[in-house]
Structure 1
């Protein structure tokens, strides 16, 4: 029997089935309206948000790590990751427009497959965004220490201040990456000030970034030597299960760079006319960025080469490993692309454009914070929605009276990201982040197919064409890349999930608003809710 709870919410007699807590879409949308974030973002800002996250991570930060895994096959790796992202983006576009609230894959899963699976997705997203933000912070630190301090000011930071410890994959003499930790904290402060202000700063940084990469392409492509692409696949297409090398292994690593289109969907609740603008931001930013990825990779490798440093058995040393760090310290590898902390600026210096190379380093120095900003933005919104549902402490969803942002969770997230950036290298962080990324993307595809069957009449501003093909292709593509991650990265997701399940059954399940039978629905829907309606569990 339905009962009205505090604040006009409706209490429902919900069965205690483990997988039965499916939150009605009407309740999700009503909750978002009653305790909502300010709608201030338009289609151009959304697309810039996506571009700000996609272009930057893969090009400025992961070019060297990707080349170490695949050599010139990095171009093929970008194409593989791009194809899988296109089908995933189509699934995101449909469900994000139909459910225009914060929470991304977590919210979509809650509305289609229930609370337990939604928790696992949200928990994976927490890992994905926080680790990814740490990885980009480390990438920014490389440009800051190289182009700004080293090339311009002649100041060379000692390893103990600019790199993590060797035991965690850092460099000899490394102790803490202080610049990486500081930039993470600075971006956290900016996000706490306000979403609209963050979007305006991001737009400026994206313009700088795209201009710099356009100049890079114009200078490098005319000097490409086709011999640099031979052999094109030094580690093969498949490097072997659990090795994380080869073209597919590199694709599994750089896939994390495409997380930008996912971040767009997390901003749906703060978007004007989301049914129209969210699909534009998702698909538009992805297509724009994929072209840049391939062109910049071709320019970098085609000019100075990008062959990996091989280990025993003709298998490349793992990116971010202690063994590779030792090899890169040898004079014979001093100019190698795969050893550079600022790959694109390094390429331009090697081909005689030192001044422009330094300028590109400045652009990365200015632009990479936009990537950190979008990742932190997305992560805090996931926490915000999970807290709003009662699965995390309610105080985490507090919105600052002046800034209109979830300031508590933003501060906590920023502190964790800063710690990760201070002690781990970019390659390891990227691989770990991908475990959560691929799981979340797979669940979105499942959610779209489930919602088509359970709620076929719902208005959809965008519909995935040939969902019978695109949905399964997304699922299989994500699984394919997951099983081509390094073995250590594959282990992270199940371990992280076990920790999450302990928290869920020990804390969240008993405090869930839906578990208590409290959901919020529009007044017009009250008469249509039946005590034992099968759609509401």
Structure 2
């Protein structure tokens, strides 16, 4: 990094980095998207979870070696510039901002949905949106206070969430046993088209591991800690997703569980209701709410750091790169990020925002894997076939979402590239 450029504080160790990853992963995916995927693929959701999980591990390994080779905040945006070219680097940053803003908006709406359901409030869409905006700006204020306060809050949130999920698993499996038959039913009477569609949506539920890579400037000894943190977080989350999905299908059946996404989007609370065990519904609701808060907190952190990197390079106004000296927080980037998410919250459409996030994040990680293919041999940690398989799989799955979504996504990619061309030609020269 050039001398005199403001730097972020390195204050996160291995456990903190793993918790940051878990805090980003455990949330909207496990509390909302597994029901969406089940509605699409039925028992085939089990296969979709495996497909998405394997792809996520490929991407995680590519992210890990890139982060070890080039440990700065910004993730694939920086890797694209370093190992590919400015257009692919910019596209990665652009896709990250869109994808994670859509995910954050989904987390806001999901959190409010669980909160209203737990409190017995039958709010209309307008009430949910207004409440979501209040919640969003509150979390934005927390993040603007700096990484130390946000890191502590994240650890508390992850702890509460894991307790709630483990409570649900213990009660569900204690009452009904481990439903191994669901795994065998997964391959029957489900079309491959539906499984691939569900796999694309489920992939988004894994992508929080990239949050660790975007903290390159804030992690102690990043070359060792970042790869370990990503792999550790991924192993834990694949197991957790499978167990929660199997428990939900065992309790309700695939069709009924898939239908819980209709109306109030609070699927796991509805699973807890069927179990009819005292307090379990409240515990799961609390876990869901804290999980969504954890996702939102970590997404704002990650988005603001990528925005910081883009501003440093001049892809967006350089004034956004200002870091407050008191707590070394990129305050302007945090608040701009919060406003962008707020605009998406105004749509009030959870299914659309989640699908849109799926397409854009798959494009983002295809660039991640491409960048990993161009790593110098001395900096390569894993075989090239891993990055190649990840890249091809991301591009393939991206176009199994709704055609309206991927066509809109392609339009935004083109618009972003036009902006980058004009900015390179005129803005950066001045």
Question: Could you say which TM-score interval applies, normalised by the shorter chain?
Answer: over 0.9
Deviations 1:243-296 (A, max 9, x none): xxx122111012111121111100011111111111111111111111000000
The whole-number CA distance in structure 1 between the counterparts of 2:308 and 2:6 is 11
Q: How far is 1:354 from its partner?
A: 5.2
Contact 1:60 1:364 in 2 (8 A): yes
| Residue 115 of structure 1: aligned partner | 86
In the alignment, does 2:302 pair up with 1:302?
A: no
Q: Mark the runs of 5 or more structure 1 residues left unpaired by the alignment.
A: 1-29, 163-176, 240-245, 310-318, 320-335, 517-537
Deviation at 1:156, TM superposition (A): 3.1
1:83-132, Cα deviation, whole Å (9 max, x unpaired): 00111111111110110001100100101112122111111111111111
1:284 to 228, 232, 242: 232
Contact 1:32–1:101 (CA under 8 A) maintained in structure 2 = no
Match of 2:47 among 76, 98, 102: 76
Structure 2 unaligned regions, length at least 5: none
CA displacement at 1:478 relative to structure 2: 0.6
Q: Deviations over 1:163-188 (max 9, x none)?
A: xxxxxxxxxxxxxx222222221111
Count of residue pairs brought into register by the alignment: 427
Question: If each structure's helix is expressed as a fraction of its own residues, which one has the higher value?
Answer: 2
- The answer (yes or no) to whether the contact 2:42–2:190 under 8 Å persists in 1 is no
- Answering whether residue 126 of structure 2 is matched by residue 146 of structure 1, we say no
**Residue 402 of structure 2 corresponds to residue 463 of structure 1:** no
1:214 counterpart residue number: 166
- Aligned ranges 1:171-190 → 2 under 5 Å: 177-190=129-142
Partners of 1:509 and 1:221 in 2: how far apart?
61
| Residues 79-90 of structure 1: pairs in structure 2 closer than 5 A | 79-90=50-61
Contact 2:18 2:230 in 1 (8 A): yes
- Structure 2 match to 1:494: 410
Is 2:12 the counterpart of 1:46? no
In 2, are the aligned partners of 1:306 and 1:337 still within 8 Å (CA)? no
TM-score (norm. length: structure 1): 0.76
Aligned residue for 2:152?
A: 200
Cα separation, 1, equivalents of 2:307 and 2:199: 28
How far apart, in 1, do the equivalents of 2:220 and 2:4 lie? Answer: 13
Off by >3 Å, runs of 4+ in structure 1: 31-34, 224-235, 508-512
d(CA) in 1 for partners of 2:359, 2:189:
22
Structure with greater Cα Rg: 1
Give CA deviations for 1:412-465 in whole Å, capped at 9, x if unaligned: 11112122123232221111012221112111111112122xxx34xx4x701x
- Does the CA-based 8 Å contact 2:43-2:183 persist in structure 1? yes
Q: Secondary structure of 2:255's partner? A: coil
**Contact 1:445–1:475, Cα closer than 8 Å, also in 2:** yes
Question: How many Å separate the matches in 2 of 1:395 and 1:361?
Answer: 41
| Alpha-carbon distance in structure 1 between the residues aligned to 2:283 and 2:261 | 21
1:298-447 maps to which residues of 2 (within 5 A)? 298-307=246-255, 336-339=259-262, 340-353=264-277, 355-447=279-371
Change in Cα spacing, 1:237 to 1:374, as seen in structure 2 (3 Å) is farther
Task: Give the CA RMSD over aligned residues.
Answer: 2.2
CA distance in 1, matches of 2:425, 2:115: 45
Counterpart secondary structure, 1:307? helix
Inter-partner Cα distance in structure 1 for 2:213 and 2:160: 24
- Secondary structure in structure 2 of the residue aligned to 1:48: helix
